[in-house]
Structure 1
Amino acid sequence: MDKNARLGLLLATPTTLYVLLLIAAPVGMTIAYSFWTQEFVDVTRDFTWANYREVFADPLYRTLIFRSVRIAAMVTLLTVLLAFPVAYHIAFNVKKNKAMWLFLVTIPFWTSYLLRVFSWKLILAQNGVVNSALLWLGVIDTPIDTLLYNSEAVVVTLAHAWAPFAILPIFVSLEKIDRSYLEAAKDLGEGPVRSFLRVTLPLSIPGIIGASMIIFIPTVGDYVTPALVGGSDGAMVANMIQVQFGKANNWPLGAALALSAVVCVTGAACLLVLGLKLIERSLK
């Protein structure tokens, strides 16, 4: 082994140990627990598929997994649709002080995530901002009690929380587009709409894919937001996993539920990327 190889090994060793300690070891323990059995306070380490059979046989667990994927997909779609115009404006219309605009995008990170969730809880509450405004305008006579504690409230709250994570990668993708392509489309007689659909949008698909993955994958595992604004109709699979590892004290079932959710999320994420790739190909 030459000097450069030894130096590379020396530099890579701390990172490798860090990954093994904080990622590989917990994942390995989760996999091991999923094949064990909980008996009161003791864990029986005999191999069994019973936990996975229970996860896919119980309609409650299936409902929570599919609801989590559906809510994450809705959050991803809404967030990307709201983030794209902002990223487009910064990339194409802002000529000076782009750094200041990007700095403003990161302002939500200055406040606690819990504080932002509680803010939406106050906004959507029965005596919150929305109901108070509608009552003041005379649109309604009594407060609407269905704005909070449902899946729609979870979608709105998560879309607001993850918006900066969508704006930044989409902006980077739009900023890298060669402006000569747009000029060539204009010279060939393309209007603004067709230029956007045939040039700008296809070239921004990588940023959209990146933003979608950044939002979709962690959103499925969010349990704080559903617990605070979702109620029973907005509960997600992460809430059940937290219950199994906490109050129910059934770590093997919680581990099996977590790994089952990971498999479902991976499949859904692959389908999402494939769909965006097909859209990109159809636009070219």
Structure 2
Amino acid sequence: MFGRTIDLGLGRKYTGKTKRLINKDGSFNIVKRGREMRLYDTYQYLSRVSTERLALFILATYLLINLLFAFVYVWCGVENLRGTDPSLYPFLNAFFFSVQTFTTVGYGVMAPQGLAVNLVVTLESLLGWVGFAIIAGVVFSRFSKPNVRILYSNNAVITPGNGVNRLQFRLANKRNNVLMEMEARVMLMMQDVHYDRHYYNLKLEQSSLHFFPLDWTLAHQIDQDSPLYNIGQQQLEERRAEVLISIKGFDETFGQVIHSRFSYTFDEILWNARFKKAYDTDAEGEIILNLTRLHETERIN
């Protein structure tokens, strides 16, 4: 988040706070208002929400449903439930009977009697089947989806060389699985004096890899065709520049296409710097990739 006053020219000054477009975890920093939340959007929401929120949602829904049905059983009369525990309050007996009905456990101790209670049991059993089917589908989709763990360098760098500057950053796969057919796309986002955001494609010197066993340094040559041509560090700050990155590849383990997103804001770009070598070769000729050195840079005088 950035908050100091920036002079945008034409008598306009920016004094508010701006957050990055893409967060470090790859999520977009956007809040949508005015959209309609429909019932069939629930599955999509549960598939994307964090594991902690999903677990909390499941627990809260489970307790809420059983509490509601417990009130219904109390209203129908707990005396219509055979095998209740006399040492417990009537509401607790109704709650535990609801839990057994909803989960179809059926210990054989408590049982309904009477038309009203049996009708409620019929409804709750159906709701339990549907609910567990939805939750099972959500949990399976989350565990079967490839968990991408691509490590990006903490900073991007502007590296001079042969009379031309290059914007560079690098990444590596934190897992031991094999990623193949990797493709990268990079865009530059900058704001104008009206705070409107504009996007520019950055051409990469090597935008694809057949195999991704080591680190991968992506470079954009800042020549006359580049949107970064003749733009300095101060101009990037004034225009709240952000480099947006999209990575796509094929995960051989899961047999699925994987996606990863990342970004670098203007203050995360180091000028006149280059990356240090992140891998070495041992005595047996084995290549050792040190992920902790992926972020190491050095200044160029």
Q: Quick check: TM above 0.5?
A: no
Relative to its length, the structure with more helix (as a share) is 1
Relative to its length, the structure with more strand (as a share) is 2
Task: Report the TM-score range of the alignment, normalised by the length of the smaller protein.
Answer: under 0.3
Larger relative CO (CA 8 A, sep 6+): 1 or 2?
1
Normalising by structure 2, we get a TM-score of 0.23
